[in-house]
Amino acid sequence: MSSADTSPGGSTTPPLPDRAAGGPAPEGPPTLRPRPAGRPPRTATRPAGTGAVVDCAVYVDGRRQEAVAPEDALRMATDRGGFVWLGLYEPNEDELTALADRYDLHPLAVEDAVFAHQRPKLERYDDALFMVLKTATYVAHEELTATSEVVDTGEVMVFLGERYVITVRHGHHGELGDLRHRLEEQRDLLCLGPSAVLYAVADAVVDAFVDVAAAVEEDVDELEASVFSAERTDDIGRLYQLKRELLSLRKAVSPLEVPLQKLAERQIDAVPEAMRSYFRDVLDHAIRVRDQVASLDELLTSILQASLARTSMADNEDMRKISAWAGIIAVPTAIAGIYGMNFEHMPELRWRYGYLLVWLVILGACLFLYRGFKRNGWL
């Protein structure tokens, strides 16, 4: 088994028929609720032929122990007084249900972890916790267009118990391998138990939000400069697309405040007192990102309104020019129409200078109208 949680690997998780020591064996594995109508089963996107288990390790006194199979990890952690960290990538229903039997995971939490597409939340099931976090990454692009993907989101679910922490990742980003390696270098933090892993995951997710918000802010600045530039541009489509992408980030950040408040302020058995200050720090960062995203959204709304107003002003200016030229052209059209009626008895028809006089009248009237429209800003 690889020690990195960066990509799926290993074989398919074998069935786990028995439960770790310390509790009575159940009659059978927990079953999921019937799938709601119209809710299709989730199709895993991991490479074919790979298993859901990415990494499995037992930590005792903050140190990683020798390699261990997932089915033996909880027993070893219980015997040695440590905890197991099991990393999964897009498990299917059978794989996660098999693990749920051994780790006594609640069926409702298992269902959420299988189907994904959950909003950030924190649920408590007896002595265990289940937390959902939305992950986000910035999609780089050479030029922002009306169809550009700017923010890509995924999910990380965390099952937290007295002797275990299980992370379930969905999406093509948010890898936890580097996070695991960094955390293994902080022995004092790992000595605080499974909640240290939950803190590290939440902190990494919020730090990613900070990076994404900073990158999106650069796109907003570019659009703002384009809208108020001297050149005439049509940025409404790009503004609307960026506003939609920012909404995805807002849905990932805003609901996270309540779960982090619970972890930082409430007495929870699975979270030691010493860990609350860590979660308060993550909460502070999350609130700052939330405010930044809200400010960017309000700024985009103002820029969008300014762009619409500028477009409306440009349309009015075009209409004034068209009306002015139409008024000028109406003079020769009217004179030519009158003298084109072919009446026999009309003044100046047989006058020697009649043709020249008509041209002088037309040019004089057109020049007079042109100067008037120009002075009033219509041309």
Mean pLDDT to the nearest integer, 135-147: 90
Q: What is the pLDDT of residue 345?
A: 67
Angle, helix 177-184 to helix 194-227, in steps of 10 degrees: 130
DSSP H/E element including 167? strand 164-170
More confident residue, 1 or 56: 56
Q: What is the pLDDT of residue 311?
A: 77
Domains 53-310 and 315-375 share a fold: no
Percent of the chain exceeding pLDDT 70 equals: 84
Give the CATH number of domain 53-310. Answer: 3.30.460.20
Instruction: Name the pTM for this structure.
Output: 0.73
Lowest-confidence segment of 115-124, 214-223, 337-346 by average pLDDT = 337-346
Residue 3 has pLDDT above 60, yes or no: no
Q: What is the pLDDT of residue 142?
A: 87
Q: What is the pLDDT of residue 1?
A: 40
Q: What is the mean pLDDT of the chain?
A: 82
Residue 12 has pLDDT above 60, yes or no: no
Q: Positive or negative CA dihedral for 16, 18, 23, 27?
A: positive
Q: What is the pLDDT of residue 29?
A: 40
349 pLDDT tier (thresholds 50, 70, 90): low
pLDDT digits (tens, 9 = 90+) for 239-262: 989 999 999 999 999 999 999 999
pLDDT digits (tens, 9 = 90+) for 50-84: 578 889 999 999 999 988 888 889 999 999 999 99
The two tokens of residue 117 are 């597409």
- Distance, in Å, from the CA atom of 316 to the CA atom of 318, rounded to the nearest integer, reads 5
Mean pLDDT to the nearest integer, 275-286: 94
Which residues are 64's β-sheet partners? 59
pLDDT digits (tens, 9 = 90+) for 290-341: 999 999 999 999 998 888 888 777 777 778 888 888 888 888 888 888 777 7
Terminal alpha carbon distance of the chain: 76
More confident residue, 374 or 137: 137
35 pLDDT tier (thresholds 50, 70, 90): very low
Q: What is the pLDDT of residue 133?
A: 95
203 pLDDT tier (thresholds 50, 70, 90): very high
Mean pLDDT to the nearest integer, 222-229: 87
DSSP H/E element including 165? strand 164-170
- Distance, in Å, from the CA atom of 375 to the CA atom of 379, rounded to the nearest integer, reads 8
Residue 85 · residue 59 · CB < 8 Å:
yes
Q: What is the pLDDT of residue 341?
A: 73
Which residues are 59's β-sheet partners? 64, 83
Which residues are 157's β-sheet partners? 132, 168
Q: What is the pLDDT of residue 348?
A: 65
Residue 132 has pLDDT above 80, yes or no: yes
Mean pLDDT to the nearest integer, 95-115: 89
Mean pLDDT to the nearest integer, 96-120: 89
According to the CATH classification, is domain 315-375 in 1.10.1040.10? Answer: no
Q: Where are the domains of the chain?
A: 53-310, 315-375
Residue 351, C-beta contacts closer than 8 angstroms, at least 6 positions apart: 357
- Distance, in Å, from the CA atom of 111 to the CA atom of 162, rounded to the nearest integer, reads 21
More confident residue, 36 or 355: 355
